[in-house]
Chain A
Amino acid sequence: MTESSGVNSPTEAMDRIQRMRQEIARVVVGQQGVIDQVLMALLASGHVLVEGVPGLGKTLLVKALAQCFQGQFGRIQFTPDLMPSDVTGHALYDMKTEQFKIRKGPAFCNLLLADEINRAPAKTQAALLEVMQERQITIEGKPFPALSPFMVLATQNPIEQEGTYPLPEAELDRFMLKVLIDYPEEAEEQALVKQVTTGQVQDTLSVAAITPVVAAADIPRLQAVTAEIQVDAAVFDYAVRIARASRQWHSFAHGAGPRASIALIRTARAAALLDGRQFVTPDDVKSVALPVMRHRVALTAEMEIEGLRTDQALQQLLQEVEAPRL
């Protein structure tokens, strides 16, 4: 087990991050963009909503991420009959000790995979809200702190919408990024098939091949380094202007709130660190604008009827917002 080696300098942090990136990419083939965005969310201490059809390696990605920092991995398959206590845990009366014992739920972990989160009713979805925002879980009125680092990766399937409960705006806003996971390129898929079928019996890739490169205790340090990445006033201004422009943009029924501006800067910091820089440029902000904002805006009915997609509308918006003025 990798001991906590105290990531202190930004250079050291960059080195660890690059190694994490490489380790994950060894197992998760052909999804470099997704890996980067998930790493950004981890560094920025945010949660990710992953949208993609089944079978593109979402679970594998989370397992690989957990493995590379030896974090605890928890998984909940959301179903219509899932109860909030199935997520958080519950109190159990112990006959021997004649006391209530707290049985902690799967949310007590470092990386929580909430599979098909939109299949559970709003009550259960809301159980995640507290732990996502407050980093604490209340069972029977008693708050328990969540593990650190804590990150939720929720998935939803864009195709099967029947019998689903769309996530409420409040919960959507709590996800830092919405990552779209798509089919891999032909060459990548060939590599994937070769990797899965050679010398393996099961259909899934094993994450055992991943060497842990940081300890779970290092992650908060990495997050602290990320939070110290230098951001110029002009870049702050740029991020805020993007979020504000979405509120008046003609294609959107409602735009992104202040959480979007915050997420833009936090994610841009992570992007800069991932890119090996200690300062944020407007390009960082622009490159993360789509995953940060796509779930925080809603298209107007007319635009939806015209067949415009959220990403296209956001691209149009970004073309109109002036890059920072110095």
Chain B
Amino acid sequence: MDLDKISVEVRPRNPYEAMDLGFVMARRWLRPLLLLWLVPALPLMGLSYLVFHQQPLWALLFVWWLKPLLESIQLSYIAERLFDEQVDWRGHLRRAHRIALHQWFAKLVTQRLAFSRSFNMPVGELEGLAGTQRNQRLNTLHRGAGSPSLWLTLVGHSIEGLIVVAVFGGAWMLVPVEMDIDFSVETILNSPLLFPTITLAGFAAMTITAPFYVCAGFMLYINRRTWLEAWDIELTFRQLTRNHLARGQSLVMVLLLGALLAPLSGPAEARTQPAESRQAIAEILEGDEFHQLQQESSWRWKQEPPDPTTEDEQTLLQRLGEWLVDKLGDFGLGVDPGPVARILLAVLEVALWGLVVALVVYLVLRFRSVGLPRGSSPPADSPSPPSHLFGMALQQSSLPEDVVGEARALWQQQQYRAALSLLYRAALSFLVHERQLPLTSSHTEQECLQLCLQRESPQRGDYLRRLTRHWVILAYAHQPLTEAEFDALCADWCRFLQPEDTAS
């Protein structure tokens, strides 16, 4: 492996960038990669059809199981192709059986179902590691790219499934409605033609996804090593060295750079033994940098003596928890009383509290518009009575003690309007304050009357009707009422004020 000949720009990428780069590589070298897959896979597929000719699903499964062997051929090709433009895929094809059968048992049995298969593959295939060494190496590599590699596998499987469904769906859409074919699972499984076709679609899906899956996993691996072994820095130094050599710089400079680069060369090899590394780490940890004391002060809760009631509650909760665990055990849920049960109970507690909070929030939002009575504020349906109505003061304090007497006195002084106004005002004030009639300033005379007729006794309504009629004629038609009419209004005033049971 010669880093100088690497055909991609080496820089630390995030895992998804690295996978993107892998897809670009797969597209660039798609033809050789497909050939490297198809040349060994097609005979294999044919063979498996011969063996399992009655069960096409088994035939497909057989090839699917052998996928790691086929993919390792593609991997070896791109691994070399990345560092050497002159690599010929035919050479790999000739060596295919050797490449495929390298660590075949591990590939087909122990590592077959690994979720990060394409990411793990280079460790066995290219570094040649196996057993414990491989596992340690993978531990290191997985720290930065474990999750993306897992997602790569999951998405790859999903895309394979989608391709199969798409092929089947496309064919189904082309079938005329008139043919009325029953596409039940049973029909598909029993059809001598349909089912093998679908399995062939599955094979095609594997063929299409394999180059992308392998390349993306490989680039994840390369990227992880770039991070770990600083390939980009090494390449920069090499470039600098070359530039200086080209300019004929002094031998001292070259030696200096060479000395600098010496520990960086051979990136794939383990540079120090694990024991040495541990010792070095221990030495660093003992250094002054890790033993600097610093004083910090902050506010903390004092340790209160345990409250007996809390203890009771705790024991109650514990008992409830134990009971729950017992019950869960009874139901055969296999809950192990112990740490697992405690975690489950904690989760349950959080969920229940969340439910309570959600319920409270829901209730608050739901009944927000109801307008529950709060404190001393008046109920919504009885607004505070207006102090003025039609420009007239309605407060009881603004009215004289003897309304009728005062009105009669005004009448005598020929202030007819003021006299009737006083009566009308007093009547409305009585209705608003004593009878809680919800009058507002926008109510006209007739609306006040209608409200009174609806809510009050007929006698009271009748009186207000007379009073309103006279008042309206006086106010808007400027026609005064007769003295007899005024006297009748004054005479009936007391009956208007009487409580309802006696009034009626």
Contacts and interface: CB of A to CB of B under 8 A. Distances in A.
Interface of A: 230, 232, 234-235, 277-283, 286, 318-326
Contacts of B421: 326
B443 A235 contact: no
A209 to B, nearest CB: 35
A322 B442 CA distance: 4
Given A230-B478, A232-B476, A281-B472, A325 B391 contact: yes
Name the prevailing secondary structure of the B interface residues.
mixed
Contacts of A283: 444-447
A195 B440 CA distance: 45
A279 B479 CA distance: 10
Interface residues of B, number: 20
Interface string B475-488: 11110000000000
Contacts of B444: 281-283, 286, 323
B197 interface: no
Contact of B390 (A232, A277, A323): A323
B415 to A, nearest CB: 14
Given A283-B447, A326-B391, A320 B476 contact: no
B14 interface: no
A80 to B, nearest CB: 44
A319 B440 contact: yes
A279 B475 CA distance: 10
B423 to A, nearest CB: 14
A140 B444 CA distance: 52
Interface in B275-320: none
Nearest to B443: A323
B390 A324 contact: yes
Contacts of A318: 442
Contacts of A286: 444, 447
B441 A281 contact: no
Given A279-B477, A282-B445, A324-B390, 18 more contacts: A230-B478, A232-B475, A232-B476, A281-B444, A281-B476, A282-B444, A283-B444, A283-B445, A283-B446, A286-B444, A319-B442, A322-B442, A323-B441, A323-B445, A324-B391, A325-B392, A326-B392, A326-B475
B476 to A, nearest CB: 5
A326 B475 CA distance: 8
A318 B440 CA distance: 11
A325 B476 contact: no
Given A326-B390, A326-B391, A326-B421, A280 B442 contact: no
Contacts of B440: 319
Most buried by A among B390, B446, B475, B476: B476
11 contacts: A230-B478, A279-B477, A280-B476, A318-B442, A320-B442, A323-B443, A323-B444, A324-B390, A325-B388, A325-B391, A326-B475
A180 to B, nearest CB: 22
Nearest to A277: B477
B441 A322 contact: yes
Contacts of B477: 230, 277-279
CB-based closest 9 A-B pairs: A325-B391, A279-B477, A283-B446, A322-B441, A282-B444, A232-B476, A323-B444, A283-B444, A279-B476
A283 B450 CA distance: 12
Interface string B446-482: 1100000000000000000000000011011110000
Nearest to A317: B442
Contacts of B447: 283, 286
Interface string B379-395: 00000000011111000
Contacts of A230: 476-478
A325 B442 CA distance: 10
Contacts of A279: 473, 476-478
